Structure 1
């Protein structure tokens, strides 16, 4: 399957290097942008499948751009956003995840890792399964970086006991097959539960389910 990518970074050398990595990996580069404003504009005209987004940029940063891209009314035109960051422990990454990003990867990653990451988020999966990523989310929440009452708390009341079980396992980084094995259900049933949870709470992907679980206290930071 052909996957098109918009590369967003304010440093030309980084953009060009990433563009070459993606092309060599069999992906299509739909365009390049040097700031968030251009990124938002190009998602509408170039219609990429994935936006590979830097955070710190002039005019509009990657967090604000991610929020605007993920808030587009036409869901069919909403690309997945993958944060490409120099500092993987930067708490701005968590802000980008809250804004709708599907995950993040460091600029120091190997070329094949970047290509795999793009394909992963394009499939609707989240790059949030590592211990380091969950630790980042936990640290942000401990420092008061969330306001669950505004967005998520009432959402949990919509879920069945089984769906709450599944949500906890998603937050722990388990894939559908692992969830199925743990709950003695089929992978298809696990996938159905995950999709139903996302629909009920208004989450666009698994990354937001992880944020929901931590911010509402369903999964306790550091537990």
Structure 2
């Protein structure tokens, strides 16, 4: 089975749409999904402006919990990851839905508890893994370092089995297989095309 890696940030509605899309597409096309994290707050932080993505000076994983908006969500995501890839995927989907559909606060413990319940995770284990903050921060730091080495600058960024990688903003949420699969195939065809298309951007009025 071929693996598609998705870099996401729970702050980003485009990352939510990308995850919903690939969640529908993956079983249709026999793909395995690997979730990784990229921080828009780290990437766009004033102290990191002009620096390579691989060499930030302001690092999210080193910040206090009460600071950045996304830190607690990333740590919770890593706590969910301890229960396996499938559990992590279900948790990520539910956390995105709570944030962007239900407008729930992202860094609130109750939001995490509800995401765990909806995703069918073991709550006691999740809370124990979340309390292991040192290791969760180390895991987050590794994800962000890998994103930096790849040159990720936005979410969602997909890394295909071929190694091709691209950031792609979906303007609409697409969850119907008959629509999602052709959209995914169009996206991957652009990446594989010999024209080496790097940017397609519509004008804004």
Q: Is this a same-fold pair by TM over 0.5? A: no
TM-score, length of structure 1 as denominator length: 0.25
- Larger relative CO (CA 8 A, sep 6+): 1 or 2? 2
